[in-house]
Amino acid sequence: MACELHRGALGGSRLKTILIVDRDLGFVFWLGQILDENGYVAVPAKGVTDAAEIVVTLRLPVDLLIAPPDEHGLNELVEKLRLASPYLQVVALASEEDQAWAMPPPGAVWKRKPQHRDEAARSEWLNLIRDLDGNCLTSVAHG
């Protein structure tokens, strides 16, 4: 299988390690809780520097990175993560401000940050993650 998932210690269940990078820690923990509740391992970070330190310190293989494309050092982080996890997928996290000038890493999926953290937003994010997990996609059209 081209897109291998990490196996959990209990019963070999499929778990995916997801690194969530954003300065808005409320969003990071909101999304992290949703992912944790659904069998994923969510790792929060408030910036690329923190994310890089967490990955190195914990020797953490990352399957999916969610981060804003304008985050300084993001492309370099993606390159380093792909050395350890060649099938790394990336979700470029867009805010309400138009970030058309920001260049996400190649193959990144664009996803807008929710205006409201409600059940609809929860379902939308979870469906995106499940699509990426189930299909091992590197590029899909989600708004």
The CA distance from 78 to 83, in Å, is 9
pLDDT above 70 as % of the chain? 78
Quick one: pLDDT at residue 11?
Answer: 34
Q: Which residue ranges form the domains of the chain, and what is each CATH number? A: 13-134 (3.40.50.2300)
Pairing between strand 89-94 and 64-67? Answer: parallel
Quick one: pLDDT at residue 24?
Answer: 93
3 vs 137: which has the higher pLDDT: 3
pLDDT at residue 91 above 90? yes
- pLDDT tens for residues 111-129? 888 888 999 999 999 999 9
pLDDT at residue 34 above 90? yes
User: For tokens 């020797």, what's the residue?
Assistant: 59
Give the Cα-Cα-Cα angle 132, 45, 30 (nearest 5 degrees): 65
